């Protein structure tokens, strides 16, 4: 039974989901703040469910000897060292949809607050003043809203803004013209948005490309009288430059829920008129907190129990439905990678993967990861679908993927070709109707080889006596053959044999086969079946 640690506060309903699904769970909501205690116990767990308090560092991961998945109840994963987790082979998930509506609503609320100076007007009135003339606001009706980032949250903000009869401009390099039309927005470049928007709101993650996206130079290009809202991530805006623009009157107002340094006990924006600030409340509603908690429990349980991967940040996602259908194909992809990995001793320059027929309609990113993982395990058994692609990239291995409509007699197949300085080596396989993977071609030679845990590969010239020598030698040494597959390119040319054995073959048996002088190559192989 998989075991999960919940190290931050999570709803009891979410904890119960783990139990109901058959996952052993320890709910220790304060242990995330105790680094030493967490490091002491983390080795017991297959999964770690967190919010923002737990910091998953490379040092902590070094102690996480059994950890397979980390899931963050929320969107931001600034508290997780994702590259270190990837090298460790640990999947990192978040829950991007559970608090999307809540965060979008907060951005809209902040826009209204800064448009009508609500916090200051409220404070003034509570002090017994009646300053109607002081708090002259602006309508949002017919104003232009610039949305930077049109993903999950940004698209909800767009929908709400259009309902308020605002004009909406969107800047997002990943937004297609078709999607922009579907959303009802005009897609523009950043400079055009900055120069035309009456309100600007951010809905992008903090990356090297988005950091300081509203820089001092960008602030100088803003439309006079603009109001800036940031409920996404601190660090997207140069707060000092924005404060100067507010003091000079070039920017009419700002509403910030996030800051470059949090907790934000001080900021250049504090104390300025018509600046609304909140303590990172974007996802702080009862509904959102419950939604992300339930989502994280479902996602982790699905992965640990069925292999389904949802909302992963460091490997391809595979739905439960895909996992059920693709399971044998993922196993096949891993076997193909394992075969060429075990057969290749020299450095690999490239891996070329061809998907045919039904295989080409599947989740190719997941199948690619399985091929690479199978190959990399030949030199490092700890590699998996998370860590192997990272390792391959670090080694400069080029990965190329092609797909084609059904060719030949099989409904679909996968062919893997490995390129080194010395040679190219290829193998192809398919999944039969019984759900079992088979090797169907090696070195261009057609075969039909069932895959077992312990196998033997031999290559020889197609001459009489080889099969007899193979069978007699292994028989004399007590090696039992479960399955025997032969293939040749043409009479008198290269021939191969794939033997499925009951047990690992001993070094003495390999030496005896080589000593017959009949084999060009003798190679034992192991597969995870």
Q: Which residues form the catalytic set? A: 233, 262, 280
Alpha-carbon dihedral 323, 325, 326, 327, rounded to 10 degrees: 70
**What is the DSSP pairing of strand 398-404 with strand 348-357?**
parallel
For residue 227, give Cα distances in angstroms to 97, 274, 418, 456: 27, 10, 56, 70
Cα separation, 62 vs 444, in Å, equals 43
Cα separation, 237 vs 269, in Å, equals 11
Contact in structure between 390 and 372 (CB atoms under 8 Å): no
Residue 279 CB partners (closer than 8 Å, separation 6+)? 257, 263, 264
Residue 57 CB partners (closer than 8 Å, separation 6+)? 81, 84
Residue 163 CB partners (closer than 8 Å, separation 6+)? none
In degrees, rounded to 5, the angle at the alpha carbon of residue 215 between the alpha carbons of residues 191 and 264 is 135
Record the tokens describing residue 109, joined without a space: 């609320």
Record the tokens describing residue 152, joined without a space: 């999950």
Half-sphere exposure for 379 (CA within 13 Å, toward CB): 14
- The H-assigned helical ranges of 285-424 are 286-306, 320-343, 364-376, 387-394
Contact in structure between 496 and 522 (CB atoms under 8 Å): no
* Cis peptide bond upstream of 432, omega within 30: no
Phi, psi of 77 (to 5 degrees): -125, 35
């Amino acid at each position: 039974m998989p075991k999960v640690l919940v190290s931050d506060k999570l709803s009891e309903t979410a904890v119960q989901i783990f139990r109901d699904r058959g996952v052993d769970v320890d709910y220790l909501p304060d242990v995330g703040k105790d680094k030493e205690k967490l490091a002491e116990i983390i080795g017991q767990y297959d999964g770690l469910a967190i919010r923002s308090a737990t910091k998953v560092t490379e040092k902590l991961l070094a102690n996480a000897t059994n950890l397979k998945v980390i899931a963050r109840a929320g969107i931001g994963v600034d508290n997780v060292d994702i590259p270190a987790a990837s090298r460790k082979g640990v999947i990192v998930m978040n829950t991007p949809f559970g608090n999307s509506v809540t965060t979008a609503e907060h951005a809209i609320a902040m826009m209204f607050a800064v448009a009508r100076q609500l916090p200051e007007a409220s404070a003034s009135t509570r002090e017994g003043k009646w300053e109607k003339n002081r708090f002259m606001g602006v309508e949002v009706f017919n104003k232009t809203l610039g949305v930077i980032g049109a993903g999950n949250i940004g698209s909800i903000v767009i929908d709400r803004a259009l309902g308020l009869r605002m004009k909406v401009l969107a800047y997002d390099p990943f937004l297609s013209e078709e999607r922009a039309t579907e959303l009802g927005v005009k897609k523009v470049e950043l400079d055009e948005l900055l120069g035309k928007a009456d309100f600007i709101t951010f809905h992008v993650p903090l990356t090297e490309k988005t950091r300081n996206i509203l820089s001092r130079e960008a602030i100088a290009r803003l439309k006079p009288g603009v109001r800036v809202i940031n409920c996404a991530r601190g660090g997207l805006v140069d707060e000092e430059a924005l404060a100067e623009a507010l003091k000079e009157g070039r920017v009419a107002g700002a509403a910030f829920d996030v800051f470059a340094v949090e907790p934000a006990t001080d900021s250049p924006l504090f104390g300025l008129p018509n600046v609304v600030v909140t303590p990172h409340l974007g996802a702080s509603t009862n509904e959102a907190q419950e939604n992300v908690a339930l989502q994280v429990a479902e996602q982790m349980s699905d992965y640990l129990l069925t292999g389904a991967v949802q909302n992963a940040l460091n490997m391809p996602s595979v739905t439960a439905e895909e996992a059920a259908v693709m399971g044998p194909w993922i196993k096949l992809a891993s076997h193909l990678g394992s075969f060429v990995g075990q057969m290749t001793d020299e450095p690999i320059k490239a891996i070329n993967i061809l998907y045919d027929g039904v295989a080409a309609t599947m989740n190719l990113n997941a199948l690619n990861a399985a091929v690479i993982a199978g190959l990399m395990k030949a030199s490092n058994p700890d590699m998996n679908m998370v860590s192997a692609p990272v390792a391959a990239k670090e080694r400069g291995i080029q990965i190329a993927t092609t797909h084609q409509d059904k060719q030949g007699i099989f409904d679909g197949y996968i062919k893997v070709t490995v390129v080194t300085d010395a040679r190219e080596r290829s193998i192809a396989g398919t999944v039969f109707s019984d759900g079992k993977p088979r090797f169907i071609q090696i070195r261009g030679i057609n075969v039909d080889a069932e895959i077992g845990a312990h196998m033997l590969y031999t290559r020889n010239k197609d001459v009489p006596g080889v099969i007899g020598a193979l069978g007699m030698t292994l028989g004399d040494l007590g090696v039992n053959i479960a399955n025997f597959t032969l293939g040749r390119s043409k009479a008198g040319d290269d021939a191969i044999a794939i033997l499925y054995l009951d047990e690992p073959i001993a070094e003495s048996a390999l030496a005896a086969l080589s000593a017959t002088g009949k084999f060009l190559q003798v190679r034992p192989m192991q597969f995870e079946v």
